[in-house]
Each structure stands twice: as C-alpha cells, then as structure tokens.
Amino acid sequence: MEDSLNVKQIWDLLKKNKWIIFISMCVCALLMSCYLYFFSTPIYQSETQVLINQSVPQNTIVQSQDVQANLQLINTYTSIIMSPRILAQVSENMDDVYSTKELEQMIQVNSTSDSQVIKINVESANARDAVKIANETVRIFSKDVPKIMKIDNIYTLSEANLDDDAAPVKPHKALLIAVATLLGMILGIAIMFLRDLFDRSIKTAEDVEKTLGLPVLSMINEMKDEDLFEKAPRARRKKRKG
C-alpha cells in the first residue's frame, strides 16, 4: 500500500472511522466531566483595593514628581504585603489554619500601570476564608506600613464581601470540557492513522495491484453457506435430468 495518503483517502478514512473518533471524544469529555464535578476542588476569589499616598501638608501643591515617587513605591508596598511580617499576623488571626507558605500561594498583589491603587486577590477553596484573609491582610498592612514607611495616608477603596451566590473562579468547567473533547478528537484521529498504518490486509482489487504489481484478471464473489445449500438441490436435479 502507498506510504502516503491523499486528501480523498484521508476523507475516506475519517468516514470509515467516524465512530471511533466520536466515541473517543465522548469518553474524554465524560472523564473530564466526572473529574470536575466529583473530584476537583472549586476555588473562590475575593478582592480588595487599597490606595496609598504620601501625606501632603495643607496649602501645598502636589507636583508630578511627588506622584511619580508614589508610583515607584508601589513595588515596595507589594513586597511589604507579601512579607512574612504581614502574613504571619494574618495566619495568627486566622487561628493558624493557613501557614505563611500557604498564604503566599493564596494571595496575589498587583496594580495597574501608572496607578497608586493596589489590588489584593485571595483564592481559596473556602469563600468565607478568602474574604476574611483579604480584609485581614489590608487591615494589618494599613496598621504596620506607617511604622515602616512613615506613611499615614492609606485608604481602603473596597473591602472584600461574602456573596452567597458567589461562583468559583476555578476550575473553568466549560473550557476544560471543550479542551478534553478536542483532545479526544485528536486521540481518535491518531488511533485511526495507527490502525491504517499497521493494517496490511488486502481488501480490494486495487490493493492487490498496488501490493503485488500484477493485474487482476477476475474476481470471485463471497459465497455464504445458505447460498451453497440453495444451489446444491438445483445441481442434483440437473444431474438427474441428464
């Protein structure tokens, strides 16, 4: 058989093995669904925002250099929030349910460019704990940072609130099921090509010509047992007449 396949042969293979591909897609989607709905842990997220700005004496004009200096300190504030000093107090206020290392993985601190607003995101399998950790982190940071940086102008723009209808942010079930279905299709196609690659059986007259390089002179149709039984009495009757 030819080592390469043309477009028509590939299309014929796809039609011939469509059920293998379909079953592979269904199995992968079913396995992913079972994992997501019965074994995966939903992750909830809470967010709080803090504005940090150096105090400016009254009747003093705020210049662009002052704003730029505050922006350059954002990375410093982020490091302070994620420091063991802050996280250790958060862990203590959470009754040591979460260690400092676990809090480091749960808390994400970021800010948009050219902004003095810091966002603190907390992800946890417990929605209530995520809200409490976010608020505790802001509270402790607001209490300690004036002692560290000599800054007393910290304003919480939004606190984390517990929503009874909060939906988990992870895992993304629809996306993962779609990806699993796509992988199932790729797996089915791979199985299709492997079957065709290792299939050396001769099925058609064209296969004979391609394999042996000899022309096909005639073809014998497949005969079933019932055909033989039907033709046997006719042959006997002809012999008797003869």
Interval 87-98: pLDDT, tens:
999 999 999 999
pTM: 0.67
Q: 211 to each of 1, 10, 129, 156, 204, how far by Cα in Å? A: 6, 19, 70, 79, 11
User: Phi-psi region for residue 50, left (φ > 0), alpha (ψ -120 to 50) or beta?
Assistant: beta
Closest CA to 124 of 47, 44, 48, 46: 44
79/149 Cα distance (integer angstroms) = 12
Query: Does the 44-158 domain belong in CATH 3.30.70.1130?
Result: yes
pLDDT of 37 over the 60 cut? yes
Give the per-residue pLDDT at 178. Answer: 96
CB atoms within 10 A of CB 191: 15
Q: What are the structural domain ranges in the chain? A: 7-39+172-215, 44-158
Express each pLDDT in 8-33 by its tens digit. 878 888 888 899 999 999 999 999 99
Give the per-residue pLDDT at 133. Answer: 94
pLDDT of 131 over the 90 cut? yes
Express each pLDDT in 61-120 by its tens digit. 445 555 566 667 788 888 899 999 999 999 999 999 999 999 999 999 988 767 778 899
Q: Please name the residue ranges forming H helices in the chain.
A: 7-16, 18-34, 64-72, 74-81, 84-93, 100-106, 127-149, 173-198, 205-212, 225-241
Q: 62 to each of 53, 56, 58, 82, 150, how far by Cα in Å? A: 11, 7, 10, 30, 18
Tallying the residues shown for the chain, one arrives at 242
- The DSSP call for residue 83 is S
Enter the tokens of residue 225: 């047992």
In sequence order, which residues have a C-beta less than 8 Å from that of residue 124 and are 6 or more positions away? 43, 44, 106, 130, 133
pLDDT of 156 over the 60 cut? yes
Least confident of 41-45, 64-68, 238-242: 238-242
Give the per-residue pLDDT at 24. Answer: 95
Percent of all residues in the chain with a pLDDT value above 70, rounded to a whole number? 74
Give the per-residue pLDDT at 1. Answer: 42
Enter the tokens of residue 27: 């199995």
In sequence order, which residues have a C-beta less than 8 Å from that of residue 56 and are 6 or more positions away? 62, 66
Least confident of 32-46, 99-113, 133-147, 220-234: 220-234
Structure-derived torsion over alpha carbons of residues 219, 220, 221, 226, reported in degrees to the nearest 10? 180
Strands 44-52 and 154-158: antiparallel
Q: What is the mean pLDDT of residues 120-129?
A: 93
Task: Please provide the DSSP assignment of 131-155 as one string.
Answer: HHHHHHHHHHHHHHHHHHH----EE
Instruction: Tell me the residue type at 154.
Output: I
Give the per-residue pLDDT at 16. Answer: 86
